Structure 1
Amino acid sequence: MEEKRYPFTQNREISWLRFNQRVLEEASDPRVPLLERLKFLAIFTSNLDEFFMVRCGSLYDQMLFGPDQADAKSGMTPKEQLQAIYREARKLYAMRDAVYRDVNKTLQALYLANVSRKNMSRKQQKSLQQEFEHKILPLLSPQIIDAHHPFPHLINKEQYIFCELQLNNGKKRFGIIPVPSFLDRVIPVPDTRDDYMLVEQLILQHVDKVFPKSRVVFKTIIRVTRNADINLNDKDIDEDEDYRQYMKKILKKRSRLSAIRLEMYKYTNPEAVSYLCSHLHIEPEQVFVSRVPLELKHLFQVVGSAPSSRTAPLLYQPFTPETTTQLDPEKPLIPQIADHDVLLFYPYQDIDLFLKLLKEASWDKNVVSIKITIYRLADNSKVVDYLVQAAENGKEVLALMELRARFDESNNIRMAERLENAGCTVIYGFENYKVHSKICLITYQSHGQIRTITQIGTGNYNEKTSRQYTDLSLMTGDPVIGQDAIAFFQNMQISNLSGSYKKLLTSPRQLKHAVMGKIDRQIELAKAGKPSRIML
């Protein structure tokens, strides 16, 4: 029977997999510095994890509750989309295996590789065996699965050693060993420069010592990816419960959601697959075998911990953002921005000027308030530090914190609590909408008048990612934009999505209509033979 063909270019999910394939192609490109190729391998894997958790998770939910609802562009049902995703993802796994093998082989010549036992001397093997017996084995919690020891809950993206055992009485049982996440995952190989094994590989190698009274028939490493597409319903919030507490409860549920994907390292057999599929309630098409480590975050650690004298020639030359000539960082910034607008272009220009503006505002005796929207923050955010400082200095600080920033929810909850404890006012946006706007309003007194400095940008108030992603940041003393920003924050506090503004375009009420009107205007000019231009 001929396989049904789909217009993949019209399907969002398959199109995204094509994008991630291009990330993987960067890892395979010999023109890319060797250690940068490692980073692309790690980014590809992280991207794919999130794709399965979110996009496949959403399709999985649709398949359960609306199985016949077809995608408007491709005409595919949720099940058909998932099956197409599984087929395409399997090809990407094979491609990643080949790329990793090629890069790691090159790294072996540089003694900076993930090596196997067969590549080691007897002395090195003995040393790692002692490492396992003295520092790892005492920390393991192995379990034989039987009537008295039921199949455990497998935590999302955590790794487990899974094996089939033949007991002394001749019976066969499955065994499982959680790989402790608190252990250092990268284990240096003795008498090499920077070669290493991974802790899960070392445990897998010595499974027989973990189950000494059984014969190991089969062994592998497994990793489960769970649906992370949590559905938020404000109707579920108790009247006496605030939104932050509700989000904490929802996040606890995420770790228990349905399995979407099972990965197995190198080895598989029909009995193990059947058993795991049965207990995880998945189909064999959701099982993927990888010839490379299932989690590649360690590659950043490998690159970062090796001596710079060795890694520098194998990386892109470091880039240092420039400071803009529009501002003198040695002088107060508020008067300069009040005098002329400043547009920063990250990462080519430094976010430190905006951070300096916040710090200055937190101490300036003329500043009366700072208001800001927050979506994603760095782990040790200077933005939060300066907002806390401003509140402690008696200034009004308002933060509209979007708790639904995917996979940053816990960090945002912690930051919201810190801001509240410092005396800041924290609000959480609207039902059915995420607040993606990036706007910061500084209000100050000057010569008996209220004046404003407004920052509007793309991206996030995140010092780390601002040095990786291209974004724009406008800082202006324009009084009309300042009045719009005042109205914006007032509308946010009273849940008014229909507010009117003179210069700001806000969604979901005004942005599309205004942009379409501007496009129509340029078309009219073009038809009349007059100069016209559209830049997006």
Structure 2
Amino acid sequence: MTNNLKFDYDNPDYYDNREVSWLGFNYRVLQEAEDTRNPLLERLGFLAIGSSNLDEFMMVRVAGLQDQHYMGANYVDSKKQWSPDEQLAEVSRVNKANVTYQYQLYYQLIKECEEHNIHFISIHEASQKEWSKIKDFYYQAVFPTLTPLGIDAYRPFPNLNNKVTHLFVHLYRNGEEQTAIVPIPPLVSRYYHYQENNHHFLVPVEEIIQAFIHDMFKGYEITSSFFFRVTRNADLDIHEDGAEDLLAVIEDYLIKRRNGRSVRLEVDTRTKHPEVLADDIDYLTRQLELKERDVYLINGPLDLTGLNEAIDDLEAYYPNLTFNKFTPVYPKELQGTNVFKAADKKDLFFHHPYDSFQPIVKFIQDAASDPDTIAIKQTLYRVSNNSPIVQALKTAAEHGKQVTVLVELKARFDEENNVQWAKVLEEAGCHVIYGKTHLKTHSKIAMVMKLKHGKLKRYVHLGTGNYNDKTARIYTDMGIITTNDKIAQDATDFFNYLSGYSKQPEYHYLHVSPFDIRDTYMEDIDQEIKQHKKYGNGHIIAKMNSLTSKRIIKKLYEASQAGVKVDLIIRGICCLNPGIPGLSENIRVISIIGRFLEHSRIYWFNNNGDEKLFLSSADMMTRNMIKRVEIEFPILDADIRKELKAILNVYLDDNIKARYKLPNSHYAYVRNDDTPVDAQMVFATKAEIERQDPRSLQTSHKKWLNRIQSHLATKKNK
């Protein structure tokens, strides 16, 4: 039913602020640490993920807002119309509540650990028997790595490293007070782990340092000490204009980033009440040029990413406290043949991590050694440290094949890694390019060209995720391999566009940002509105990581007002508010956070039964639409479209991990009386069944979902 009410689409009440919405996402990550359906060590892991996420958020997003504040810029958030100061104030308020919740969970979980004979203890709780071993460990493995930094007229306040925990020390001798700072080396193990009577004990190394630090300041009395941590701006501009060598520009940028402006100060208040520390906190705040809103007083150990080390130490002893081992299935259509022979027959679809990533690796490896291969072209955004794909590209070049690789040097926090890979590939004889000025190339595409019997055959892989064999085990992503002539021609034009001088090509099937993905998506929404007005069956489903583009949100509001049903599966940021009467009441938003990081992007339109379905490297974010080179590609194979629609339905049926967004911007768990569905568990079980009997699953959503539910029930009863 069409809604004729008039709404001001610029009303700030209809949107969420991007940064505050992200904090809501990180809160949902922390909720996984509270979810007792997750194994205990995995719950600790979610606390670590929350801290890691937050570090990056502070270094990039908060840093950017602070830059605007210091420049006196009058930029306002396009959705809430907030100034940088208003955003920083709200971020501080919401984030401090998140951090309080995180540490409540931390103490709850370490108490639960005690029930399994795992004890996170202070050094003063260590047994007398172990004390001498701890002392030996300190003097042999830790003390030599420490460097005290005195502060006086001859030694000014030091440049403290990003994300490193420091010990602030007050000293006294002969009526004089002195101050020193001792950085805790990040490469030293976070915990001293020992066992006694089948109990495991973990002592934080920073507390061991604090206990023995007096030996570093002989002749002085240590009157007090406490821990603090500084986070710095990593969102520095890369000056590309006129650069003759982008590699050199990036290397210079990496050096400058280490000394970025301070954006956050965290202080451990367990040993000293904040009032006692007030003068010291004020001193650090002034030296670091921070404001009160940037200071976080924490009643607990700083930097909970260190919990990952504890989990690594413990998981061999407590496999029952971690997720059951999951082994991806090698796709049945590739068993007994290679990727290229299978792709000659039909398009191939991959759903990682449930489907093994190995066929994608083999796609490049086999091409590198095949005499028929004449050229390989590929984009690389983030790759693993010992990437087999990079090794295969090197091999191909060494075998005389033409290899063109776009290495994105501006992939945040992977710049240094990518600089090194670019040099390695160039040395091997690959033609390495770095993309377009002022744009990041975030596309995931690889093309292999073979000359068979005098005829050129092109094989194209398109995906939603990186060519990274490590993250492919924990990120949910999708991709296809196709020999479709028009897609292959589009791929050829795309690589020529990146490596040469030409305007954006006219593609047959690919939609390529900047702008084209956004514009065609909005056209598809308009078409769905038109079809709905005629046939009454309008329906849009979109799965992505984040939705921030105001132009797309407005268009989705238009669709809802026209009566089109809109289902959005958005893991992270969502600036759209669903369920507003008359405006967005036909829009449903759910977020799924679980064992695997939901990373695939799927866009589906009913189109009166003539379905349109696309996969993409792009989220519907402003940056993806106008500041990146992204690819959206159609699914042309009917069987793959059918499977993808079934996958979308499983996500929409999730009533275990899914949360739905309320009109007030909060999220609540989906709870109903339907058959329990945990989407990620469904896909993992489907892979397990397929591994046991490749013929046992039908492509019908209902049939294979029922088969999986029966399988899970059988396992539970056993």
Same fold (TM over 0.5): yes
TM-score of the pair, normalised by structure 1: 0.93
1:372 maps to: 378
Instruction: Choose from 442, 452, 461 the match for 2:448.
Output: 442
Matched to 1:242, the amino acid is D
Instruction: Determine the C-alpha separation between the residues in 1 that align with 2:320 and 2:248.
Output: 49
Instruction: Using the TM superposition, give the Cα deviation of residue 9 of structure 1 relative to its aligned residue in structure 2, in angstroms.
Output: 5.9
2:186 maps to: 181
1:324 maps to: 331
CA contact (8 A) 1:455 1:475 kept: yes
Instruction: Using the TM superposition, give the Cα deviation of residue 190 of structure 1 relative to its aligned residue in structure 2, in angstroms.
Output: 5.6
Report the RMSD for the aligned CA atoms in angstroms: 2.0
Instruction: Using the TM superposition, give the Cα deviation of residue 487 of structure 1 relative to its aligned residue in structure 2, in angstroms.
Output: 0.9
Alignment pair present for 1:48 and 2:54: yes
1:299 maps to: 307
Matched to 1:321, the amino acid is P
Within 5 Å, give how 1:278-357 maps onto structure 2.
Answer: 278-306=286-314, 308=316, 310-328=317-335, 330-357=336-363
Instruction: Determine the C-alpha separation between the residues in 1 that align with 2:386 and 2:222.
Output: 46
Q: Detail structure 1 runs of 4+ shifted over 4 Å in the superposition.
A: 6-9, 530-533
CA contact (8 A) 2:15 2:79 kept: no
CA contact (8 A) 2:32 2:46 kept: yes
Instruction: Choose from 163, 170, 178 the match for 2:169.
Output: 163
Instruction: Determine the C-alpha separation between the residues in 1 that align with 2:14 and 2:491.
Output: 42
2:662 maps to: none
Q: SS of the counterpart of 2:447? A: strand
1:3 maps to: none
Instruction: Using the TM superposition, give the Cα deviation of residue 174 of structure 1 relative to its aligned residue in structure 2, in angstroms.
Output: 1.2
Q: SS of the counterpart of 2:333? A: coil
Instruction: Determine the C-alpha separation between the residues in 1 that align with 2:518 and 2:304.
Output: 41
1:257 maps to: 260
Instruction: Determine the C-alpha separation between the residues in 2 that align with 1:278 and 1:533.
Output: 55
Q: SS of the counterpart of 1:372? A: strand
Instruction: Determine the C-alpha separation between the residues in 2 that align with 1:381 and 1:497.
Output: 33
Task: Report the more deviating stretch, 175-184 or 28-37.
Answer: 175-184
Q: Would the alpha carbon gap of residues 508 and 455 (structure 1) be closer, same or farther in structure 2, given more than 3 Å must change?
A: same
CA contact (8 A) 2:74 2:83 kept: yes
Instruction: Determine the C-alpha separation between the residues in 1 that align with 2:118 and 2:447.
Output: 49
Matched to 2:408, the amino acid is E
CA contact (8 A) 1:53 1:226 kept: yes
1:272 maps to: 280
1:247 maps to: 250
Instruction: Using the TM superposition, give the Cα deviation of residue 92 of structure 1 relative to its aligned residue in structure 2, in angstroms.
Output: 1.7
2:149 maps to: 143
Task: Report the more deviating stretch, 6-15 or 256-265.
Answer: 6-15
CA contact (8 A) 2:41 2:315 kept: no
Alignment pair present for 1:520 and 2:526: yes
Q: Would the alpha carbon gap of residues 522 and 72 (structure 1) be closer, same or farther in structure 2, given more than 3 Å must change?
A: closer
Instruction: Using the TM superposition, give the Cα deviation of residue 195 of structure 1 relative to its aligned residue in structure 2, in angstroms.
Output: 1.4
Give a deviation string over 1:38-59, Cα, whole Å, max 9, x none: 1100000000100100000110
Q: SS of the counterpart of 1:528? A: helix
Q: Would the alpha carbon gap of residues 35 and 499 (structure 1) be closer, same or farther in structure 2, given more than 3 Å must change?
A: same
Instruction: Using the TM superposition, give the Cα deviation of residue 171 of structure 1 relative to its aligned residue in structure 2, in angstroms.
Output: 1.7
2:3 maps to: none
CA contact (8 A) 2:315 2:321 kept: no
Instruction: Using the TM superposition, give the Cα deviation of residue 333 of structure 1 relative to its aligned residue in structure 2, in angstroms.
Output: 2.2
CA contact (8 A) 1:8 1:15 kept: no
Q: Which runs of 5+ in 1 are unaligned?
A: 1-5
Q: Would the alpha carbon gap of residues 481 and 138 (structure 1) be closer, same or farther in structure 2, given more than 3 Å must change?
A: closer
CA contact (8 A) 1:338 1:478 kept: no
Task: Report the more deviating stretch, 427-436 or 187-196.
Answer: 187-196
Instruction: Determine the C-alpha separation between the residues in 1 that align with 2:323 and 2:14.
Output: 34
Instruction: Determine the C-alpha separation between the residues in 2 that align with 1:208 and 1:248.
Output: 40
Matched to 1:143, the amino acid is L
Task: Report the more deviating stretch, 424-433 or 118-127.
Answer: 118-127
Instruction: Choose from 214, 222, 226 the match for 2:220.
Output: 214
Instruction: Determine the C-alpha separation between the residues in 2 that align with 1:64 and 1:488.
Output: 40
Instruction: Using the TM superposition, give the Cα deviation of residue 7 of structure 1 relative to its aligned residue in structure 2, in angstroms.
Output: 6.0
Instruction: Determine the C-alpha separation between the residues in 2 that align with 1:220 and 1:387.
Output: 50
Q: Which runs of 5+ in 2 are unaligned?
A: 1-11, 542-602, 604-718
Instruction: Using the TM superposition, give the Cα deviation of residue 272 of structure 1 relative to its aligned residue in structure 2, in angstroms.
Output: 0.9
Instruction: Determine the C-alpha separation between the residues in 1 that align with 2:14 and 2:170.
Output: 40
Instruction: Choose from 466, 478, 490 the match for 1:472.
Output: 478
Task: Report the more deviating stretch, 189-198 or 178-187.
Answer: 189-198
2:564 maps to: none
Instruction: Using the TM superposition, give the Cα deviation of residue 530 of structure 1 relative to its aligned residue in structure 2, in angstroms.
Output: 7.9
Q: Would the alpha carbon gap of residues 8 and 148 (structure 1) be closer, same or farther in structure 2, given more than 3 Å must change?
A: farther
Instruction: Using the TM superposition, give the Cα deviation of residue 161 of structure 1 relative to its aligned residue in structure 2, in angstroms.
Output: 1.0
Give a deviation string over 1:285-331, Cα, whole Å, max 9, x none: 212122332223332222223363x3211112121111212223x32
Alignment pair present for 1:101 and 2:107: yes
Give a deviation string over 1:346-375, Cα, whole Å, max 9, x none: 111011011111111000100100000111
Instruction: Determine the C-alpha separation between the residues in 2 that align with 1:522 and 1:178.
Output: 59
Q: Would the alpha carbon gap of residues 511 and 131 (structure 1) be closer, same or farther in structure 2, given more than 3 Å must change?
A: closer
1:60 maps to: 66
Q: SS of the counterpart of 2:153? A: coil
Matched to 1:184, the amino acid is S
CA contact (8 A) 1:273 1:284 kept: no
1:451 maps to: 457
Instruction: Determine the C-alpha separation between the residues in 2 that align with 1:527 and 1:506.
Output: 29
Q: SS of the counterpart of 2:332? A: coil
How much identity, in percent, do the aligned residues show? 34
Instruction: Choose from 66, 78, 87 the match for 1:81.
Output: 87
CA contact (8 A) 1:156 1:224 kept: yes
Task: Report the more deviating stretch, 187-196 or 29-38.
Answer: 187-196
Instruction: Using the TM superposition, give the Cα deviation of residue 8 of structure 1 relative to its aligned residue in structure 2, in angstroms.
Output: 10
1:483 maps to: 489
Q: Would the alpha carbon gap of residues 283 and 432 (structure 1) be closer, same or farther in structure 2, given more than 3 Å must change?
A: same
Give a deviation string over 1:104-134, Cα, whole Å, max 9, x none: 1221333333211343222333432343234
Q: Would the alpha carbon gap of residues 387 and 314 (structure 1) be closer, same or farther in structure 2, given more than 3 Å must change?
A: same
Matched to 1:248, the amino acid is E
Instruction: Determine the C-alpha separation between the residues in 2 that align with 1:402 and 1:215.
Output: 53
Instruction: Determine the C-alpha separation between the residues in 1 that align with 2:131 and 2:338.
Output: 62
Instruction: Using the TM superposition, give the Cα deviation of residue 152 of structure 1 relative to its aligned residue in structure 2, in angstroms.
Output: 1.1
Instruction: Determine the C-alpha separation between the residues in 2 that align with 1:135 and 1:249.
Output: 33
TM-score of the pair, normalised by structure 2: 0.70
Instruction: Using the TM superposition, give the Cα deviation of residue 382 of structure 1 relative to its aligned residue in structure 2, in angstroms.
Output: 0.9
Task: Report the more deviating stretch, 262-271 or 509-518.
Answer: 509-518
Task: Report the more deviating stretch, 127-136 or 318-327.
Answer: 127-136
